[in-house]
Amino acid sequence: MELRHLRYFVTLAEELNFTRAAKRLNIAQPPLSQQIQHLEKELGVQLFKRTNRRVELTYPGLVFLGEVRNALDQVETAVRAVKRADGRDFGSLTVGAGIIPIHTVLSRVLPEFRREFAGVDFRLHELLPQQQSRMLRQGGVDISFAIPPFDHNELATEVVLNDPIVAVLPADHVLARKKAIDLSELAGERFVMPNRSWAPTYYDYLITVCREAGFSPNIVHTFGEFQTMFTLVGAGLGISLATLSTRTTAVGGVACIPARGGAVPVWMAWRNNDPNPAVQRFLELVRSTHNDGSK
């Protein structure tokens, strides 16, 4: 006898109709009927009276229904106890992150975390890198995600993502037909770049990779939202650089072409030996989703 058989029985006892019960259980009607028959055979007792018009509980079936409901309630209590012991149904988790990690790492991890840890009080703070290291040490956040440089002394850290750089070009740009480009090919272009106050380490990283490619970008427009950047580029007002993960927000009239050799690293940082079970599970979820190495 399996738990699912007991749940089948309870559902049929509540509906007293095989068709409706099967629909609730998301199974076909014949398998439901077969499972109920197997349950009756195993018990040696008829649980339901069946006619062409109706289904009714027998007296033994009514007694069994009360006992099964109690048993299922005990199982649910046991499940909740296990989840509480694992930190799934109580406690809190506070994460700090810059705008790029929110768009890249967290956008993929948070839905899964919320499904598994629905009872955990989760909070997300958009923070600058200098705020993150301070708040981690002071206990204001439990985990941080940032683009280096990042003051990680006395903190545990990992590189969870190396997000490749793409050139964001108007769709009719001569380079938009290429499969990949060298950043040096963009030396003479007009650039749309992020406001440094909005994403300082991201801005600094993009400037650095341009200089390593032999030029300083001619910045003619700045932005504080990726959607704004894609709109400006699509209107032909310049080109930009972005990460592969952010291109999902691109608008029509824009081409995102991989740039050889460039990638933006994202670090994850937390306090060593943090006893919060939600912290450990969150770290595991991030690692299972982004497995690009460690730092």
> pLDDT tens, 17-40?
888 999 988 889 898 999 999 999
What's the rounded mean pLDDT across residues 108-115? Answer: 86
List own/partner pairs for 152-157 with CB under 8 A and 24 or more apart.
152/267, 152/269, 154/272, 155/269, 155/270, 155/271, 155/272, 156/269, 156/270, 156/271, 156/272, 157/267, 157/268, 157/269, 157/295
What pLDDT sits at residue 129?
A: 75
Question: How far apart are alpha carbons 166 and 260 in whole angstroms?
Answer: 9
- Residue 169: is its pLDDT beyond 50? yes
- 80 or 104: which leads in pLDDT: 104
User: CATH top-level class for 3-85?
Assistant: mainly alpha
* CATH code 3.40.190.10 region(s) in the chain: 92-160+266-289, 164-263
CA distance 272 to 249: 36
Per cent of the chain over pLDDT 90 is: 44
User: What residue spans in the chain does CATH classification 1.10.10.10 cover?
Assistant: 3-85
Q: Which residues contact 81 (CB under 8 A, 6 or more apart)?
A: none
Lowest mean pLDDT among 75-84, 89-98, 169-178, 202-211: 75-84
Side-chain-facing half-sphere of 259: CA atoms under 13 Å? 25
Domain 92-160+266-289 sits in CATH at 3.40.190.10
Nearest 10 degrees: CA dihedral of 276, 279, 284, 285? 130
CATH number of this structure's domain 164-263: 3.40.190.10
Q: Select the more confidently predicted residue: 152 or 68.
A: 68
Is residue 239 pLDDT above 70, yes or no?
yes
* Residue 75, token pair as written in the block: 């199982």
Q: What is the pLDDT of residue 89?
A: 55
